[in-house]
Chains A and B, each alone.
Chain A
């Protein structure tokens, strides 16, 4: 009887694991099949090098670069804002803050990640953009800068939480040794602890980048819906995710070339995130320091 129970439980758990793998394979298959049909009509060279993206209009261009530049631009702004802030928060919480402070602040930080992204999007559009328009004249109503900044705020918890765990995991003996040698707190934090926790910190940054690349609502609402190849943060752009939302909610005929563009865009996004995940895995293995 017990053997049967064990067997059943084992198989149930195995099937749960297999379901996740099956779903991932299913997603990859769907994307690849539709993308294959797409690339049989549009050459991949065109797709990668054309500088305009206008698949729904008369003058069709299928260059992914404008959408990609929109995604990368907003992600870059988000990371440039979030990494210093997130890292400083994590170092402060781990090295400097008294325990009581740390206990109250950490859950509050998690709250930043709990705000619905659509709320963030409207916050960017209604509050941040008008404010920035006062500082930067000529800032467009839709622009990559406010979307990027608000996205940065959203991903701070990812960086700070994981980095803080990584910093905390560095054994105390290292800290004691460095204090014993006469280092100041600052030297200790930045010269000893951060390098020791670097694998965890880098992984947290890469996770934040993946999150920012896949973010949809904030950029769909605040960054604009005009695909253009630019790195100017003050003009409307369109990201890959915003384009997918725009087309899938519209009236484009299923199984037409225009409809397949969302799969082509989706598979580009997927490739990027996949590469980032692999990179983070490799970095973690390479830089991890074992202390026991």
Chain B
């Protein structure tokens, strides 16, 4: 009996000692940086984190993929240090952060040409006009536009299978804003997922599939997918470095951002990571399939960040 009591007491003590090394509320524990948000920006942040680990092996960078909106929710509560975003922060999200005393800075890190993808066996589509895309994705299409030949009579009389990011995704917000006209305004009957790998899987396995996501995911899966050109009024354009940089791939060229928490910049590791990010994003974003800003633009972002760090020490 005494033995049992002793062991129970020991067990309780050990359990009570367990939780000291968690994170502080704003993530300022040394050795750990928390990032969450856009699945589009994820490949860039991941590449930067990998290179950064070679430079600074002690620091652990964890990157979540909750979608731009989901990331901002967590960022606004102070649960993450950095938020990946494929669109600028909305007013409500900024207000939410302000309520929780979170100040932040937004930094542009790369350019994306949002890719509209089809299955490689799809031989009837070479390009879409913005009007056709609107017809497919607007809310009025829900339940009505279900077959390819409803959009263009030359296309086959087969079901369209749609794959797209979900409502927490910045890509979703951006696409609906520039194609349909209002952010968040979309039909509801498609396969929605914040994880772009699910969308890749979906379109790659479905002859009649049609989807959209950040270009990096197309670049990574070029053998499984086909890219459709987008006609924004000046003829069909494919996203390349030139067309995205000079804006001819319109309206689907867009900047990618990271947002950094003001209390996190008191942690020298976060500051070092973000500086490393801005210095190397140009090269690394090209590696993953996006497009870099110009060298001057990166310098300007770095200066913006350095000023922010100074103001928040």
On whether the two chains bind one another, the answer is yes
Instruction: Give the complex CA separation of A227 and B296 in angstroms.
Output: 47
Known contacts A250-B166, A251-B67, A251-B73, A56 near B205 by CB under 8 Å? no
Contacts of B73 in A (CB 8 A): 251
Q: Say yes or no: A52 contacts B202, CB within 8 Å.
A: no
**Cα distance A129–B204 in the bound complex, in angstroms:** 12
Query: Which residues does chain B contribute within 8 Å of A130, judged by CB atoms?
Result: 205
Give the chain A neighbours of B206 by CB distance below 8 A: 140-141
Q: In the bound complex, do residue B191 and residue A54 qualify as a contact, i.e. CB atoms below 8 Å apart?
A: no
**Is A61 in contact with B188, judged by CB distance below 8 angstroms?**
yes
Bound CA span A55–B205, Å: 27
B190–A141 CB distance below 8 A: no
**Chain B hits for A125, CB < 8 A:** 201
Structural contact, B201 and A225, CB atoms closer than 8 A: no
The range of chain A's interface size is 20 to 34
A residues 226-249 in Cβ contact with B at 8 Å: 226-228, 235-236, 246, 249
Distance in Å from the Cβ of A217 to the closest Cβ of chain B?
14
The reply to whether the CB of A38 lies closer than 8 angstroms to some CB of chain B is no
Residue B207 at the chain A interface, CB threshold 8 Å? yes
Contact between chains at A250 and B66 (CB < 8 Å): yes
- Render B167-206 as a binary contact track against A, CB cut-off 8 A, 1 for contact: 1100000000000000011111111111000100111111
Q: Is the CB of A58 within 8 A of B143?
A: no
Q: B residues within 8 A CB of A228?
A: 189
State whether the Cβ of B142 lies closer than 8 Å to any Cβ in chain A: yes
Closest chain B CB from A238 CB (angstroms) = 8
Shortest CB distance B13–A (Å) = 21
* Interface check A133, CB cutoff 8 A: yes
Contact of B139 with A59 in the complex, beta carbons under 8 Å = yes
Instruction: Name A225's contact: one of B72, B142, B191 (CB within 8 Å).
Output: B191
What is the size category of the interface that chain B forms with chain A?
35 or more
Q: Which of B67, B140, B192, B201 contacts A226 (CB 8 A)?
A: B192
CB-based contact B193/A225 at 8 Å: yes
Of residues B71, B185, B189, which shows the largest number of chain A Cβ atoms within 10 Å of its Cβ? B189
Q: Is A142 an interface residue (CB 8 A)?
A: yes
Known contacts being A250-B69, A251-B72, is A59 close to B187, with CB within 8 Å? yes
A56-B166, A59-B139, A141-B201 as given contacts; A226 in contact with B70, CB under 8 Å: no
**Which residues on A sit within 8 Å (CB–CB) of B204?**
141
* Contact (Cβ within 8 A) A57 B201: no
Residue of B nearest to A61 (CB): B188
* In the complex, chain A residues whose CB is within 8 Å of the CB of B167: 56-57, 250-252
Of all chain B residues, the one with the shortest Cβ separation from A237 is: B191
Give B121 Cβ to nearest chain A Cβ, in Å: 11
Who on chain B is nearest to A258 by CB?
B167
A250 partner, pick from B67, B142, B143, B161, beta carbons under 8 A: B67
Task: Determine which of B142, B166, B191 lies in contact with A236 in the assembled complex, contact meaning CB atoms within 8 Å.
Answer: B191
* B186 in complex: contacting residue of A57, A225, A251, CB < 8 Å: A57
A140 contacts which chain B residues (CB < 8 A)?
A: 161, 202, 205-206
Whole-angstrom distance between the alpha carbons of A236 and B186 in the complex? 19
Q: How far is the CA of A249 from the CA of B168 in the complex (A)?
A: 10
Please state if A226 and B189 are interface contacts (CB–CB under 8 Å): yes
Contacts A138-B207, A236-B202; is A251 near B70 (CB within 8 Å)?
yes
Which residues from chain B contact A56 at a C-beta distance below 8 Å? 166-167, 188, 192
- Assess whether B194 is in contact with A54, with CB atoms less than 8 Å apart: no
B248 → A minimal CB distance (Å): 30
Beta-carbon contact of A52 and B168 below 8 Å: no
Find the A residue at minimum CB distance from B68.
Answer: A251
| A224 interface residue (CB < 8 Å to B) | yes
CA gap between A53 and B190 in the complex, in Å: 11
Residues of A within 8 A of B202 (CB): 140-142, 224, 236
- The proximity string for A residues 123-146 relative to B, scoring 1 for CB distances below 8 Å and 0 otherwise, is 001000110010000101110000
In chain A, positions 32-72 with a C-beta closer than 8 Å to chain B are 52-61
CA distance A45 to B112 in the complex (A): 45
How long is the Cα–Cα vector from A215 to B17 in the complex, in angstroms?
A: 36
From 138 to 164 in chain B, residues with beta carbon under 8 angstroms from any chain A beta carbon are 139-140, 142-143, 161
Q: Are A225 and B188 in contact (CB under 8 A)?
A: no
Q: Which residue of B lies closest to A58 (CB)?
A: B139
| Separation of A225 and B198 alpha carbons in the complex (Å) | 9
Q: How close is A157's CB to chain B, nearest CB, in angstroms?
A: 29
Which A residues form the contact surface with B (CB < 8 A)?
52-61, 125, 129-130, 133, 138, 140-142, 224-228, 235-236, 246, 249-252
Q: List 7 A-B contacts (CB under 8 A).
A: A53-B188, A57-B186, A140-B206, A225-B192, A226-B190, A250-B168, A251-B72
What 7 pairs between A and B have smallest CB-CB spacing?
A141-B205, A54-B188, A57-B188, A251-B70, A251-B69, A226-B191, A250-B168
